[in-house]
Amino acid sequence: MDWHTVLRFIHITSFATWFGTVFASLFVLRALAPHLTGSAGNIADYPDFLQRFIKLETRVADTGFKTALVSGLLLAVFFHGWSVGLFIKTGLIILQVALTMGYIIKAIQPLSYPCSESEYKKWYTLFTISLSMFALVLGVTFFLL
């Protein structure tokens, strides 16, 4: 069995899972926007639905992230070795997690619903941060290293 190929498959698939959960959340939040920014009578069960969705999405994203991290480290230890490129990619991933988690704590957790459209746009800023960092990581990985 070619373990290098198996680990690469796991690594790429888990990264794609992590990336995909961000897109799924973007689409769900975009669909819920009219319901979470409307009048209090209009929102009904939507905040509870959003909370349950985010809890499940976080579980999937965390699993994808952890699997990508572990498989990447296993690839480095057994097949590719430690290089400057690996440290750059690791630093970018740490930066992405720090920026994303910092913004979630600062701007997203304090939100209560219904909220104004300008407050709701904080969600889109979170996706801008996260997707920009994904683009940076992929760009550096495929075009600079």
- Residue 38's pLDDT band, with cuts at 50, 70 and 90, is confident
Higher-confidence position of 40 and 114 = 114
Q: How confident is the model at residue 40 (pLDDT cuts 50, 70, 90)?
A: low
Task: Report, as an integer, the average pLDDT of 85-105.
Answer: 94
pLDDT value of position 141? 86
**Whether pLDDT at 80 is above 80:** yes
Which pTM value belongs to this model? 0.88
Predicted local confidence at residue 42, as pLDDT: 66
Give yes or no for residue 120 having a pLDDT over 90. yes
Virtual torsion, Cα 100, 105, 106, 110, nearest 10 deg: 130
**Looking at residues 49-76, what average pLDDT do you find?**
95
Average confidence (pLDDT) over 81-99: 93
Using alpha carbons, select from 110, 43, 98 the residue that is nearest to residue 65. Answer: 98
**Domain ranges, ordered by start, for the chain:** 3-144
pLDDT of residue 126: 97
